[in-house]
Amino acid sequence: MSFIEAKNLVHEYFRRDEDDNVVDVLTAVDNVDLHVEAGQFISILGHNGSGKSTLAKHLNVLLTPSSGSLFIDGKDASDEKNTLKIRQNAGMVFQNPDNQIIASVVEEDVAFGPENIGVPTDEIWERVEKSLKAVGMWDYREHSPNKLSGGQKQRVAIAGVMAMEPKCIVLDEPTAMLDPDGRKEVLDAVHELNKKKGVTIILITHYMEEVVGSDYVFVMDKGSVVMQGTPREIFSDVETLKAHRLDVPQITELAYELKKSGVDLPDGILTRQELLEALRYLDEN
């Protein structure tokens, strides 16, 4: 069994009138199949309203499936006995760093999570140190989180989740409120955690550029998974991406336009380096 296994997962939101009669049903997650192996770096990409956050909430058992099944680390998410265990194993990082800060000193903020789940005191401080070092925020341990930049706050939030030593971290648009430098800091920190600590990552984003380093990408639209594959496979299909209201990375777009106008380039170019190499190859041959 995969680390995360969703089968025909459906989530419906009901709108009711004053008498509690259902007046409207919105299928926010529509028959989603999802397989994620332990240690993978997965991205979920989709335009606003495509159902990403609803799916993320299922991964943290903040919602229960309307139908279908979800297993995380072999545990059935619809069985209440498993809720706590799954939540401990799948940490969540949200969009707005300001809503995730609890303490007035960085290291205390990071300690809050492990404290809450009953980790012994000595071990808490070991974990705080490890986590803050892993996201490059150790030097700021005695600072006030309020004075940090958005990217730094988000890295503290990630350290806080990491200190609970989850097997998996779900990040729901963690960079949406950050400037380009902050976005890069956060993405680099998340990739480090994945590579060095083997933490399974589910990165939810609507920025195409951010999925480039992933092992596998799921594209959602109107609640369904509409495309899936490696970043290169996904970015090879510029037309379909655009049909789902997504913009491809600038370099991929440029390569795609060049190809359309007759330049013999491979599909799915992801980086500037790859484009330069492909052009140089053409020039030399």
Which residues contact Mg ion (rule: CB under 5 A)?
52-53
DSSP 102: -
22's contact among ligand ADP, Mg ion, none, with CB below 5 to 8 A by partner kind, is none
249's contact among Mg ion, ligand ADP, none, with CB below 5 to 8 A by partner kind, is none
Q: Least distance in Å: CB of 241 to ligand ADP?
A: 16
Q: Which is nearer to Mg ion, 29 or 134 (CB)?
A: 29
46's contact among Mg ion, ligand ADP, none, with CB below 5 to 8 A by partner kind, is ligand ADP
* Placement of tokens 């545990």 in the chain: 75
Q: Which is nearer to ligand ADP, 63 or 251 (CB)?
A: 63
Q: Which is nearer to ligand ADP, 200 or 205 (CB)?
A: 205
158's contact among ligand ADP, Mg ion, none, with CB below 5 to 8 A by partner kind, is none
Q: Least distance in Å: CB of 15 to ligand ADP?
A: 7
Q: Least distance in Å: CB of 13 to ligand ADP?
A: 3
43's contact among ligand ADP, Mg ion, none, with CB below 5 to 8 A by partner kind, is none
CB of 219 closer than 8 Å to CB of 228:
yes
User: H helices then E strands: how many in the chain?
Assistant: 10, 10
Q: Least distance in Å: CB of 219 to ligand ADP?
A: 11
Q: Which is nearer to ligand ADP, 14 or 281 (CB)?
A: 14
Q: Rounded CA gap, 72 and 118, in Å? A: 22
CB of 244 closer than 8 Å to CB of 226:
yes
Binding site for ligand ADP (CB under 6 A): 13, 26, 28, 46, 48-54
Q: Which is nearer to ligand ADP, 50 or 200 (CB)?
A: 50
Q: Least distance in Å: CB of 34 to ligand ADP?
A: 14
Q: Which is nearer to ligand ADP, 49 or 136 (CB)?
A: 49
Strands 22-36 and 4-16: antiparallel
Q: Rounded to 10 degrees, what is the CA torsion of 162, 217, 174, 182?
A: 100
Other CB atoms within 10 A of residue 231 CB: 21
Q: Least distance in Å: CB of 50 to Mg ion?
A: 8
Q: Least distance in Å: CB of 95 to Mg ion?
A: 7
Q: Which is nearer to ligand ADP, 119 or 220 (CB)?
A: 220
For 115-169, the three-class secondary structure string (H helix, E strand, C coil) is HHCCCCHHHHHHHHHHHHHHCCCHHHCCCCHHHCCHHHHHHHHHHHHHCCCCCEE
CB of 164 closer than 8 Å to CB of 114:
yes
CA separation, residue 33 to residues 8, 123, 189, 229 (Å): 6, 38, 28, 13
Reported as type and span, the H/E element at residue 185 is helix 180-197
